Amino acid sequence: MNYGSLIVERTDAVATIRLNRPEKHNALNTQLCEELINALDKLEADDGVNVLVLTGAGEKAFCAGADMAEAIGPDSSGNVSDGGAPGPPAEAVARVLRTRKPLIAAVNGYAYGGGAALAINCDIRVASDNARFRFIGASYGLVVSAFQLPRVVGAPLAKELIFTARAIDAQEALRIGLINHLVPLEQLESTVAEMAAAIAANSRAAVMESKRVIDIATSSREAVQHEVKTNAELRQSKEHRDRFRAAAIRVTGEK
């Protein structure tokens, strides 16, 4: 698989997808999102792949979330976005959640916004000691990860992290159960590779069905649908548009 913004590597039955925009902190632009969806589709259809790993290129960021410069820049028709449509990042995050094969996030730096959502939509999270997480949706006037985060850390902590949109470091992430393991950055890839190989050695069908049963037992279709419906409404509000554009200007310096 040859991509412009992704690197896909295979080691036996394990496939690693590496977000490859380190100069942009692996932010989710249209090309990266489309390639990520395409890669997941192909790897899920490949019976030679039992386990997937998602990580970022470089040593600073797993994924910085949506590419804000693209988000407020003109499209092919010259129209400037104000954040009123879900866009490719939301589609890529949703595609990660729908992945049927086991998916490990190797969080090699900060995971903010859509990057944090990508991480918690994976089945297992192993983070390096420089990792940071931030669920920033409320500051943009959106509901982000509210259906998923309580499954990981429990309702009270999920409410705190989403309501405040504060950043948490790797040590706190480990303490509250947001990540499974915390390792030095130089040991991250080898630790994840060892775990992925152990999973891949087991029955692919049994592991996939185990994932399906666990997801059925712990998820709420009603909550997912309500988050999607609510965001469709919130994205049309003036408050969201103003907050989104102000945040994008702070990040990019664009006017």
Q: List the chain domain ranges.
A: 6-191+201-205
**pLDDT for residue 254 is more than 60:** no
Q: Is the pLDDT reported for residue 186 higher than 80?
A: yes
100: pLDDT strictly greater than 80 = yes
Among candidate residues 131, 143, 137, the one with its CA nearest the CA of residue 165: 137
Q: What is the dihedral of CA 77, 80, 85, 88, to 10 degrees?
A: 70
Token digits of residue 15:
């496939």
Residues 135 and 116 sit within 8 Å (Cβ to Cβ): yes
| Average pLDDT in the chain | 92
- Rounded mean pLDDT, 84-90: 76
Neighbouring CB atoms inside 10 A of 84's CB total: 13
More confident residue, 78 or 153: 153
pTM above 0.85, yes or no: yes
Nearest to 49, CA basis, from 58, 60, 41: 41
For residue 49, count other CB atoms closer than 10 A to its CB: 18
Cα separation, 230 vs 143, in Å, equals 7
Going by pLDDT thresholds of 50, 70 and 90, the confidence category of residue 250 is confident
Residue 198's Cβ-side half-sphere holds a number of Cα atoms within 13 Å equal to 7
Q: What pLDDT is recorded for position 111?
A: 98
User: Model confidence over 118-171: pLDDT tens digits?
Assistant: 999 999 999 999 999 999 999 999 999 999 999 999 999 999 999 999 999 999
- Is residue 187 within 8 Å of residue 5, measured between CB atoms? no
Q: Nearest 5°: phi and psi at 208?
A: -65, -40
Task: Give the fold, CATH level 3, of 6-191+201-205.
Answer: 2-enoyl-CoA Hydratase; Chain A, domain 1 (3.90.226)
